[in-house]
Amino acid sequence: MKSVVSELEGTLLKDPDPFSYFMLVAFEASGLIRFALLLLLWPVVRLLDVFGMGDAGLKLTIFMAVAGVRVSEIESVARAVLPKFYMDDIDMEAWRVFSSYDKRVVVTKTPRVMVERFVKEHLRADEVVGSELVVNRFGFATGFVREEFGSTHDHVAVLIKDQQPTIGLGRRTSNPSFLSLCKEQCHPPFITNLKHDQQLIRPLPVIFHDGRLVKRPTPSTALLILLWIPFGILLATIRIIVGLIVPMWVIPYTSRLFGDQVIVKGKPPPPPASSSNGGVLFVCTHRTLMDPVVLSVVLGRRVPAVTYSISRLSEILSPIPTVRLTRIRHVDAEKIQSELAKGDLVACPEGTTCREPFLLRFSALFAELTDRIVPVAMNYRVGFFHATTARGWKALDPIFYFMNPRPVYEVTFLNQLPAEATCSAGKSAHDVANYVQRILAATLGFECTNFTRKDKYRILAGNDGTVSYTSCSDRVEMVMSAFKPFIH
């Protein structure tokens, strides 16, 4: 069996400095104060590294980032937040070399708890070698670390036993000790000539992720975020107040004054001629809580939206009517039909937001209730803060959206479904829902998945109380099966 042992930082990951990942842990697991304090400490850490103080700078960073934080919070950040940023930093050439071996071991200088989830589930590593956080009896990290097997060299030697690794991947500058155990040594940059399908040699993608920060907080980016936050809060307050007090048709003009941008493609349908004919159902992709609001702004009228579990504060701040559903099928069906009888309505059949270019499985309920369906492809871009959360306080979602300097929404109207594509032509509700999902995905350049709201919260929260995936292979199989497009 051919095996590989690879350094993580600077080899599998392009950036050799893990400081920004500790900034993420500080921000997401503890808050803004620790985030700012860790940034203030960065010059000291750099000086310790420059003067060759061994791993003193790293240990100081770890202490400042996690001391006094519940280890369960650190694990939550490692599960829901860090994988996305690790994935964005992958050196694909190094990954292709790494993935071509049967047994794969990753060596990291950060605590194992921060990287193990990512490297096992997305890079498909078999083992992870890293330091362990010291945790007190109350479940809080002390900020100190320990090496369970002594040096990295010793730890790798224990793992491989009598089987010498085929190749070791690591930087020349760091010269990791485990390289001496390998038959062959390879250093970046890597050059591969693999001609296989790129899909077959890609790491498993990150579909769901949490956290408020859009960009990895390198020291310069973190400083920019901290300087912007006071202005962002003021700007968000002004944007929300203006949106609540001015007529809907005025918002497109006032929003431009504050840096908002809405790009409209396609032709929106006219308002219903009379309420006696009922309205159309706008079926939207679900990117943020702002989807129905932005759609109403584009249409120039306040179109009600059905919601599942938004906060009361979000309902109060909403400039459009909201209809809270119960997830009891017959009750929700009656509510939706009642609203459609009055006029147009907005629904997001995914049931929850997804940040990445994937669409979750559409609920088929909407297709059972009306044949007047207008698909609308929604997408958005922000610079600093995500406007969705699974772990945090959802009431702050619209505030974080408006804290971005120049948020951009893209709204693409598709044609109303023809009668032959609806249930009135004898098609099942699931076929109609799958068809709408596919055409919306094609419009946005996204991929369809079989994931649902429960899958999202299980992946981000670790357990939804119904299905337990106890092994990496089980989780990989579950994720891969969800990518099968709806072709039947």
Give the CATH number of domain 229-481.
3.40.1130
Q: What is the pLDDT of residue 215?
A: 95
Q: Check residue 274 and give its pLDDT.
A: 64
Query: Residue 487 has what pLDDT?
Result: 35
Residue 468: predicted pLDDT = 40
Radius of gyration of the CA atoms of the chain, in A: 25
127: left (phi over 0), alpha (psi -120 to 50) or beta: beta
Tens of pLDDT, residues 172-231 = 888 788 888 888 889 888 876 655 444 456 788 999 999 999 999 999 999 999 999 999
Inform me whether the pLDDT recorded for 431 exceeds 50: yes
Alpha helical stretches, state H, 343-444: 365-369, 397-402, 429-444
- Domain with residues 3-201, CATH architecture: 3-Layer(aba) Sandwich (3.40)
Residue 66's DSSP bridge partners are none
pLDDT in tens, 452-484: 998 998 888 764 433 343 444 454 444 444 444
pLDDT of the residue at 262: 94
- Reading the block at residue 163, the tokens are 């089987």
Question: CA distances (Å), 362 to each of 284, 367, 380, 430, 453, in order?
Answer: 10, 10, 20, 8, 10
Going from N- to C-terminal start, the domains of the chain cover 3-201, 229-481
Stretch (H or E) spanning 333: helix 329-342
Residue 157 has pLDDT above 50, yes or no: yes
Average pLDDT over residues 402-427: 94
Q: Which residues pair with 347 in a beta bridge?
A: 283
How confident is residue 147, by pLDDT bands cut at 50, 70 and 90?
low
* pLDDT for 444 beyond 50: yes
Quote the pLDDT of residue 166.
86
Least confident of 153-167, 365-379, 470-484: 470-484
pLDDT of residue 142: 95
Mean of per-residue pLDDT scores for the chain: 87
Angstrom distance (rounded) from CA 394 to CA 389: 6
- Spell out the residues 6+ positions from residue 339 whose beta carbon is closer than 8 angstroms to its own: 304, 306, 323, 345
pTM beyond 0.85 = yes
Nearest partner of 209 among 326, 19, 76, judged by Cα: 76
Closest residue by Cα to residue 43 from 57, 31, 62: 57
Q: What is the pLDDT of residue 273?
A: 67
> What is the model's pLDDT at position 360?
95
Q: Above 90 in pLDDT, residue 153?
A: no
The rounded distance, in Å, linking the Cα atoms of 458 and 469 is 10
pLDDT tens track for 31-47: 999 999 999 999 999 99
**φ, ψ dihedrals at 258, nearest 5°:** -110, 15
Query: Which tens digit of pLDDT belongs to each residue from 275-325?
Result: 667 889 999 999 999 999 999 999 989 999 998 877 777 787 788 999 988
**Tokens 């943020």 sit on residue:** 288
